[in-house]
Amino acid sequence: MVFVDRALVRVKAGKGGDGAVSFRREKYVPRGGPDGGSGGKGGSIIVRAVSHKRTLYDVSLLHFVEAEPGGPGSRGKRQGKDGKDCVIEVPVGTQVFDAEREVLIADLVKDGMEVIVARGGRGGRGNAAFASPSNRTPRIAEKGEQGEEKVLRLELKTIAEVGLAGFPNAGKSTLLSVISNAKPLIADYPFSTRYPVLGVVERKGDRFFVVDIPGIIKDASKGAGLGLEFLRHIERVQVILCLVDLAPFYEDEPLTRFRVLLEEFTQYSPALLKKRIFVVGTKLDVPEAKQAFPSFKAALQKEGWKVFGISSLTGEGIEELLDTLQESVVELRKQEVEREPAPVPVAEPEAKTSRVYRFESEFLRRLVEEVAVSVQGESKVFEKQLNQRLSESGFMKYFERMALGSTVEVGPYRFYWDGKGLKILGE
Ligand SMILES: Nc1nc2c(ncn2[C@@H]2O[C@H](COP(=O)(O)OP(=O)(O)OP(=O)(O)O)[C@@H](O)[C@H]2O)c(=O)[nH]1
Ligand SMILES: [Mg+2]
């Protein structure tokens, strides 16, 4: 598998089909009326997140994607065929940007989430639609509308709760192989891991994701080693484990290596330091490592760090580490729900064209459900109460950036934005 986490692709939605000019021709009807049908709608371009993909490699080879045009209208008021939508599948965690305007269109953080990035053009009306008492034989029909066109920048930022960071050879991949289903490459030479590897830890009826990234060395932020390129993949984790090899094969002291690691984090993005960070001394089965551990731990504890000692070989300390990790993950997940609203996909600032926005927000879904249950099918009352609650919760401002007529999807509910509030969307 070739790992690629960025891609640029130009997309063009299908043109709408042209409307037809035609007149009814039947025996014994000398001058039949206009019967030219409308053109079909052009296909749209959709970007969808799927869990079985791990890389943007194939997408990066696409360069240009175009959806099918709508078919032309024809006689007998027959409408043209709609063009097929074109779906670009990307890994979960892909952010979709409009490259020309540098705005985030969507952040596809869950399996199955999708966004329409370019809408197909509307079909043109046929001459049947133009008949009026003053013009019974219109010879005009509309052309189909052009499909939207965009340049997309796709950027994959792995979604995982826990990230493993450390110098090359620290034992990151070995730990991942012991605690999760992943089978990463393990080797005694530096930079054996060349791209992020995701593993699932299943335990005590729960599961969480851990991502292993290539080793980091001094001056990585200036391009040394594999550079800080891959730190992007721990930007979204909740907990970072800093693995420090305590076996005596390095020039620097373990403490020094830990500080270098923190310094490289700072260079990349100070936000990383705001995450929960645990220090993990590794390879305690090696006698020298075992010996070095107490003073290493004491020194860091004095500064307020939480420190663990493990051996992936014997399993020492692993259960204790996992217990704490799981507690943290559960706790931080709860906080996340409380911290909402933080809707995704992100609405564009002052979007001009209407589109479908799917909000994967637990908070919003609950709010809609509560109102729905309380008013029991009275749609006018439902809309009124819903919009009131949305204003109170501060959610309304997200919708205000959308173009008029945009569709808003929340769980199984669909609405449209009428400029002031959400209205229920009938099929
Ligand atoms: N004795 C001992 N050796 C270990 C332990 N964990 C890892 N190793 C060895 O250390 C070497 C490096 O392990 P990896 O897991 O590949 O290290 P890494 O941090 O993923 O390295 P990079 O991918 O290069 O950054 C391998 O030879 C492992 O067998 C451990 O707990 N005890
Ligand atoms: Mg590795």
In whole angstroms, give the CA distance from residue 407 to residue 347: 11
Residues, the chain, total? 427
Please give the distance, rounded to the nearest whole angstrom, from the Cα atom of residue 176 to the centre of ligand 2: 9
Radius of gyration (Cα) for the chain, nearest Å? 28
Q: 200, 246 in Cβ contact below 8 A?
A: no
Probe target for ligand 1 pocket from 3, 169, 217, with the most ligand atoms within 8 Å of CB: 169
At a CB cut-off of 8 Å and minimum separation 6, what does 173 contact? 184, 185, 186, 192, 193, 197, 212
CA–CA dist 234, 196 (Å, integer):
9
Domains of the chain: 6-156 (2.70.210.12), 162-339 (3.40.50.300), 356-424 (no CATH)
Nearest CA to ligand 1 atom 14: 171
**pLDDT tens digit sequence for 14-41:** 999 999 999 988 777 667 789 999 999 9
Q: Which atom of ligand 1 is nearest to the CA of 212?
A: 20
User: Tens digit of pLDDT for each residue in 265-298?
Assistant: 998 888 899 999 999 999 999 999 999 999 999 9
Q: Per-residue pLDDT for 351 more than 90?
A: no
Percent of the chain past pLDDT 70, that is, above it, reads 93
Nearest-CA residue for ligand 1 atom 8 is 171
Q: Which tens digits make up the pLDDT trace of 292-347?
A: 999 999 999 999 999 999 999 999 999 999 999 999 999 988 876 665 444 444 44
Among the bound ligands, the one closest to the CA of 313: 1
Structure tokens belonging to residue 308: 């663990």
Q: Which of residues 406 and 128 earns the better pLDDT score?
A: 128
Closest Cα partner for 168 from 301, 51, 260, 33? 260
Could you read off the pLDDT of 356-399 as tens digits, one per residue? 777 777 778 888 888 887 776 677 888 898 998 888 777 787 78
Average pLDDT of the chain to the nearest whole number? 87
Least confident of 80-84, 89-93, 414-418: 414-418
pLDDT top residue among 346 and 262: 262
Q: How confident is the model at residue 352 (pLDDT cuts 50, 70, 90)?
A: low
State the average pLDDT over residues 162-168: 94
pLDDT at 75 over 50: yes
Q: What is the predicted ipTM?
A: 0.99
Distance 176 CA to ligand 1 centre (A): 10
Residue-level pLDDT at 354: 67
Please give the DSSP secondary-structure letter assigned to residue 128. Answer: G
Q: What is the pLDDT of residue 348?
A: 45
Contact 407, 416 (CB under 8 A): yes
Return the sign of the alpha-carbon dihedral for residues 338, 342, 343, 345: negative
Q: How far away, in angstroms, is 158 Cα from ligand 1 center?
A: 23
DSSP percent split of the chain into helix, strand, coil, nearest 5: 25, 25, 50
- 17: CB partners within 8 A, 6+ apart: 38, 39, 40, 41, 42, 69, 70, 71, 72, 73, 80, 81, 83, 123, 124, 144
- Residue 413's pLDDT is what? 83
Name the residues around ion ligand 2, CB cutoff 5 A. Answer: 172-173, 193
Q: Is the pLDDT of residue 100 over 70?
A: yes
Q: Which ligand is nearest to the CA of 245?
A: 1
Taking every pair of Cα atoms in the chain, the longest distance, rounded to a whole number of angstroms, is: 106
Q: Which residues line ligand 1 (CB under 6 A)?
A: 166, 168-174, 186-188, 190-193, 214-215, 282-283, 285-286, 311-313
Beta bridge partners of 159: none
